[in-house]
A and B are shown apart, each in its own frame.
Chain A
Amino acid sequence: MKKTNKLLALLLAVLMVMSIFVGCTSKEATTDTPSNTTDTPDTTNETAPEASEDREFVELDFYIMNSPVTDQERVMEKANAIIEDAINAHLNIICIDPGTYAEKINLMINSGEEFDLCFMANWGDINFFENAAKGAFVSMNDLLPTYAPETYSRIPEGLWQGVTVNGNIYASVNYQQWGVAARKGYAVRMDMAEEVGFDWTQLKDMAPLDVLRTLEPFFEAAIAAHPEMIGWETSATYSFFLNDPLYWDMEPVGDTTQPGWIRYDDPTTVVNQFETDEFAEYCDIMREYYLNGYVRTDGATLQDTSPDRTAGRILAQWNYSWPDYIDYPPTGVEELTVQGFADANYIPDGMSMTTGDTCPAGIVTSTRTVIPAAAGPTACVAISATSKHPERAMELIELLNTNDELFNLIQFGEEGTDWYIDENDGTFQMVEGMYNFNYSEWEIGQSYDPDFARSSFGLATDQNPIDTQAKQRIIFDADLNADASPVSGFEFDPSPVKTELANCGAIISEMVPVLSNGAADPATMLPQFLQRLKDAGVDTIIAEKQAQLDAWRAANGN
């Protein structure tokens, strides 16, 4: 009896394991479906252009990642009137919650569901490259010059290469009003810095470790005076080291949080970023911060930092906006102090999620200026291979990118009802409780416009936006002239080291929040962390990345 029970249990276990595999294979089997269907749009490509006159009316479904939008029907009715006039189609924007978008869109692609357009990206599990390689999208090589000439010509060439897979452009890049060239820096609470006599302009062009050290006396004095303040923001979701390689003058090969980065100074060698001196010292400094009370004690588990930000409790933080006040002095401001801004009647930028009149921020940049490798697919629109009207979808992309009236209608709503320009100070204002696209306009098209007609600061008429426009021109110039990342165009194929990546990934997401918030003593925990990574096969990953990078360099002749 006992023996049969044991046998039964064994059988059951085997069946369970098998059922897991059955689950896997069935998934893989269905992923083939989209690649089969890719043939259909290709054939329609050749026949469609002739039938452009008096064509039938079509509905286009466009999936984006967005929270529900108030009054969407009212505004989309107006927008569809414009679209119908231009291309005899209706646009149906379907908003999927950000938390579920990645899963949902991948499921739709894998099941070969019919839709026309979708927002795509290379972050947050949205997997642009994987889906493109699978044949989920229509190749735009022929469609772009024919149906979207302006979209095609307006964007720097390098960005199109970023969305090219196997020689095919699979997405239309959403070139944004803020450009792509990046230079990062810091924001420091200007009023508090002045109060304790800290000169924030000295952080300009400083290395990150020096910045963290220089900030220490400021934190000490400011927190002594204002105990409710937090020096440096820490959280479980963001690590100043791991999530922001540009500060450390490095660039990820593959996903940012995977082991394996290169240094800009030595772009041919892949290094394990956790074994660098920078990471070791960074952990030491964060430990000091933690012990001295400059960071939240629960930083290692904190998921949501927005309450701290909106309350204006942060003394200094990383900041992505450039040119800063030193590169481009604000018009009319003689001295970069709270008083100086007040004298010029100029509202400075605020700290993150606050405004400049309550929490003025001193902004300096410190990193080099680069066009990141992944700039193209950061935000783009793809046409599904299951779409019945790929040409019309392409025309819609062109229309969204070039018709400012349409784009502004979708992103801001109707002028007068949903937004207005304040007559007194010329600022752009949204009407509370009315239509609000939740600032997701960067998903549906290019917010870039040479005259800034597609941005709130382009529509506003006060002093700050004019400076903003001037600053943006500096960025657009940099987009054309700045150095592109040394790994632009290189795409890391993770499949040979999948297991190692998964194992290391688990260790990294467990240990990095603890180390980069100072919650554990790096003297014991850092070596332990590195050893665990070694046991999980980190060296195999680095070697694989190095091999792929070498092969890519050889193939591209550098």
Chain B
Amino acid sequence: MPATKKKFHISRVLIHLIFILLALTCILPLVIILSISLTEENTLITYGYSLLPKNITGYAYSYVFSGASSVMQAYGVTILVTVIGTFLHLLTTAMLAYALTRKEVTARNKISFFVFFPVLFSGGLVPYYMLLTKYLHLKNTIWALVAGGIVSPMNVIIMKNFFRTIPESLIESARIDGSSEYRTLFQIVMPLSTPSIATIGLLTAIAYWNNWMQCALYIETPKLYTLQYLLQSLMNNIKYLQANAGMIKGMEQALLGLPSESARMATCILSIGPIILLYPLIQKYFEKGLTIGAVKE
């Protein structure tokens, strides 16, 4: 920036103030959660929540990492599912989208319709559940967690539009030089599409990382629980048991066995985990990726 000093203006102060406030509303809850997770349970009960922990203890974290909780296992499952899922998602999306942009594919309009139709009409949960459990027999396997997000019509549309921006002549000349269709896709088209791949990859990875519904429906052994499901059920169980505690005397006792407040918050912090590191890595592609699909030629 040149050294021309910008004029002080009341509107600038106001704008900054608004954004500072907005940023605070995002950051403060996180700080409080972090503080709770580091506070001793008894202090928490007597003094309530505070922005800075009164006496710091790592007990909640050591509890979470100990055998009594299955957080580490869930971490492994979640990372595996995210990596496999994102990879498969990008692969199928890219291949499908590429095929749909090629004029040589004669049935591409019919296939396009087949891809986009479910965006408007979905079968609903029950048929979906039946397909996965009765016909594909994926219940209680790690593939049930992956299968749900392997392809998304919206991402196919975005990817397809991006592929259209790659000059036709480039692909033609590759073919003249003897490149096979797969080679053209993976060595010429894909490297040119890094912004769209990074954007879709990031969104997919986050979706896989945060998905707990799939786990709630298809997984029955605690060994395959994902991190988000673990967290979600920690919070949900407490609410559900309390709301129905009057129904059965045993339920109040069941409440006692649940982890403490600080342990829950520690799990919460841990679940943010590595996914947050993805942002800075992909950021440079991201900016460009945002306009993907916005302009069509």
State the A residues within 8 Å of B (CB).
15-16, 18-19, 22-24, 26-27, 30-31, 67-68, 70, 94-100, 103-104, 107-108, 110-113, 121, 123-124, 176, 178, 228, 235, 237-238, 243-244, 303-308, 310-311, 313, 320-321, 352-353, 378-379, 433, 436, 438-442
Chain B residues positioned under 8 Å from A321 (CB to CB): 249
User: Do B232 and A99 have beta carbons less than 8 Å apart?
Assistant: yes
Closest chain-B Cβ to A20's Cβ sits at a distance in Å of 10
User: Do B247 and A123 have beta carbons less than 8 Å apart?
Assistant: yes
CA of A22 to CA of B216 in the docked complex: distance in angstroms? 24
User: Do B258 and A67 have beta carbons less than 8 Å apart?
Assistant: yes
User: Do A320 and B255 have beta carbons less than 8 Å apart?
Assistant: no
Q: Which of B1-9, B186-194, B234-242 lies at the interface?
A: B234-242
CA of A160 to CA of B216 in the docked complex: distance in angstroms? 33
Interface centre among A100, A303, A308, A320 (most CB of B within 10 A): A100
CA of A95 to CA of B220 in the docked complex: distance in angstroms? 7
Given A26-B124, A107-B129, is A176 in contact with B249 using a C-beta cutoff of 8 Å? yes
| Chain A CB within 8 A of B281 CB | no
| Chain A CB within 8 A of B120 CB | yes
CA of A319 to CA of B124 in the docked complex: distance in angstroms? 43
For the complex of A and B, list the 6 residue pairs with the smallest distance between their C-beta atoms, beginning with the closest: A99-B236, A311-B45, A439-B253, A68-B222, A97-B233, A100-B216
Residue of B at shortest CB range from A16? B120
User: Do B216 and A97 have beta carbons less than 8 Å apart?
Assistant: yes
User: Do B244 and A27 have beta carbons less than 8 Å apart?
Assistant: no
CA of A27 to CA of B126 in the docked complex: distance in angstroms? 6
A-B contact pairs, 17 of them (CB 8 A): A15-B121, A23-B122, A24-B124, A30-B126, A67-B257, A97-B233, A99-B233, A99-B237, A124-B243, A176-B250, A306-B258, A307-B45, A353-B255, A378-B248, A439-B251, A439-B257, A442-B248
Given A30-B130, A104-B216, is A121 in contact with B232 using a C-beta cutoff of 8 Å? no
Contact of A111 among B130, B216, B238, B247 (CB under 8 A): B130
| Chain A CB within 8 A of B56 CB | no
| Chain A CB within 8 A of B50 CB | no
CA of A353 to CA of B249 in the docked complex: distance in angstroms? 12
CA of A273 to CA of B119 in the docked complex: distance in angstroms? 45
Chain A residues positioned under 8 Å from B254 (CB to CB): 67, 98, 438-440
Closest chain-A Cβ to B259's Cβ sits at a distance in Å of 10
Chain B residues positioned under 8 Å from A22 (CB to CB): 121-122, 124
CA of A527 to CA of B253 in the docked complex: distance in angstroms? 39
Chain B residues positioned under 8 Å from A95 (CB to CB): 220, 222
Closest chain-A Cβ to B144's Cβ sits at a distance in Å of 13
Closest chain-A Cβ to B245's Cβ sits at a distance in Å of 8
Residue of A at shortest CB range from B241? A98
CA of A67 to CA of B253 in the docked complex: distance in angstroms? 13
CB proximity to A under 8 Å, residues B246-282:
246-258, 261
Chain B residues positioned under 8 Å from A100 (CB to CB): 216-217, 233, 236
Chain B residues positioned under 8 Å from A176 (CB to CB): 248-250
Chain A residues positioned under 8 Å from B240 (CB to CB): 98-99, 124
Chain A residues positioned under 8 Å from B45 (CB to CB): 307-308, 310-311, 313
User: Do A320 and B249 have beta carbons less than 8 Å apart?
Assistant: yes
Residue of B at shortest CB range from A31? B126
CA of A237 to CA of B133 in the docked complex: distance in angstroms? 35
Interface size band for B? 35 or more
Closest chain-A Cβ to B90's Cβ sits at a distance in Å of 27
CA of A113 to CA of B129 in the docked complex: distance in angstroms? 9
| Chain A CB within 8 A of B288 CB | no
Contact of B242 among A24, A112, A237, A439 (CB under 8 A): A237
Residue of B at shortest CB range from A126? B244
Interface centre among A107, A303, A441 (most CB of B within 10 A): A107
Closest chain-A Cβ to B149's Cβ sits at a distance in Å of 19
Chain A residues positioned under 8 Å from B178 (CB to CB): none
Closest chain-B Cβ to A202's Cβ sits at a distance in Å of 25
Chain A residues positioned under 8 Å from B173 (CB to CB): none
Beta-carbon contacts of B45-69 to A below 8 Å, as 1s and 0s? Answer: 1100000000000000000000010
| Chain A CB within 8 A of B99 CB | no
Chain B residues positioned under 8 Å from A110 (CB to CB): 126
Residue of A at shortest CB range from B247? A123
Closest chain-B Cβ to A256's Cβ sits at a distance in Å of 9
Given A23-B124, A26-B127, A30-B127, is A440 in contact with B236 using a C-beta cutoff of 8 Å? no
| Chain A CB within 8 A of B70 CB | yes
- Contacts A67-B233, A123-B247, A321-B249 aside, 7 further interface pairs with beta carbons under 8 A come to A30-B130, A68-B225, A97-B216, A98-B240, A303-B239, A378-B247, A439-B254
CA of A305 to CA of B129 in the docked complex: distance in angstroms? 36
User: Do A104 and B217 have beta carbons less than 8 Å apart?
Assistant: yes
Chain B residues positioned under 8 Å from A433 (CB to CB): 68
Chain A residues positioned under 8 Å from B123 (CB to CB): 23, 26
CA of A507 to CA of B261 in the docked complex: distance in angstroms? 31
User: Do B134 and A178 have beta carbons less than 8 Å apart?
Assistant: no
Interface centre among B243, B250, B256 (most CB of A within 10 A): B250
Chain A residues positioned under 8 Å from B120 (CB to CB): 15-16, 19
CB proximity to A under 8 Å, residues B105-146:
120-127, 129-130, 133-134
Chain B residues positioned under 8 Å from A440 (CB to CB): 250, 254
Chain A residues positioned under 8 Å from B236 (CB to CB): 97-100
CA of A233 to CA of B125 in the docked complex: distance in angstroms? 39
CA of A15 to CA of B117 in the docked complex: distance in angstroms? 11
Closest chain-A Cβ to B256's Cβ sits at a distance in Å of 6
Chain A residues positioned under 8 Å from B217 (CB to CB): 100, 103-104, 107
CA of A178 to CA of B225 in the docked complex: distance in angstroms? 34
